[in-house]
Amino acid sequence: MSKAVVLLSGGLDSAVALSVAKSDGHEVYALSFDYGQRHSRELRSARAVAERAGVAAHHVVSLKLDSWGGSALTDSRINVEEGDVNRTDIPVTYVPARNMVFLSVAASLAEAIGAQHIYIGVSQVDYSGYVDCRRVFIDAMQQAVNKGTVMCAERGQSITIHAPFIEMTKAQEIALGLKLGVDFGLTWSCYRGGERPCGTCDSCKLRAKAFAEAGIPDPALNQGL
């Protein structure tokens, strides 16, 4: 069976991406990061999602991106701003080069285990403010991975970075997740942490909008871990 590395934050997007990888017939290796983020609540969800999915392995890698901050998610001195679903500027929750770092680590894991697939749950439709969620970035990273790994550059293999939701709205993504049996009650999206979603940050508002457009209630609001 082919192997796939799935970036698993514990959020809605990554949970669906994991299910897509499994439905594509891959043996899944989940990869999460403790990167000095504002809270660890999402990692609890990542573990729950990985366990329910029955992944081959779940790696949690520690990084210290909070050493230099630069984001409301990695610097406690920067407040998480109130959400705006129509935002077009770069939000304070953007973590400098985060997806570039994560995909680089994913490529290392992929090469180590002989995986030729990496899945990431980014969308350039609902997250236009994040430059590392665009197709042009994903394509550039795939080229870099295939030029910078021995299995690709020297042994004639290739690693494909899959971004299955790159042109999807989050509501469409939810519909796909429901077909694949994703338990959205296990996922976590809130930037502020805590035991209950704040409901007012960008991520909470985008999630609420998506479930409303999908025409179903958000199970995470009535279910705790």
Residue-wise pLDDT for 70-124, tens only, equals: 999 999 999 999 988 888 788 899 999 999 999 999 999 999 999 999 999 999 8
Position 209 in a domain? yes
CA pair distance 187, 13, nearest whole angstrom: 9
Average pLDDT, the chain: 93
On whether residue 173 sits in a domain, the answer given is yes
The pLDDT tens digits of the residues spanning 20-47 come to: 999 999 999 999 999 999 999 999 999 9
The pLDDT of residue 194:
84
Domain membership flag for residue 225? no
**What span, in angstroms and rounded, lies between the C-alpha atoms of 46 and 59?**
10
Residue 103 lies in a domain: yes
Structural domains of the chain, count:
1
Strand partners, 32: 60
Beta bridge partners of 7: 31
Of 180, 55, 71, the residue nearest 32 (C-alpha): 55
Cβ atoms of 38 and 193 within 8 Å: the answer is yes
pLDDT value at 179 more than 70: yes
Is residue 22, in this structure, part of any structural domain at all?
A: yes
Q: Name the band, by pLDDT with cuts 50, 70 and 90, for residue 128.
A: low
Provide φ and ψ at 24, rounded to 5°. Answer: -80, 0
Confidence of residue 129 (pLDDT cuts 50, 70, 90): low
Residue 127 banded pLDDT, cuts 50, 70, 90? low
Q: Residue 223 domain-assigned?
A: no
Q: How many CA atoms lie within 13 A of 106 on its CB side?
A: 33
pLDDT over threshold 50, residue 224: no
Q: Is 224 within the bounds of a domain?
A: no
Domain residues for 152?
A: 3-218
Q: How high is the pLDDT of residue 86?
A: 81
Q: Please state, in angstroms and as integers, the Cα–Cα distance from residue 77 to each residue in 80, 196, 209, following that order.
A: 10, 22, 29
Q: Would you call 4 helix, strand, or coil by DSSP? A: strand
* CATH code (residue 107): 3.40.50.620
Is residue 163 in some structural domain?
yes
Residue 225 has pLDDT above 60, yes or no: no
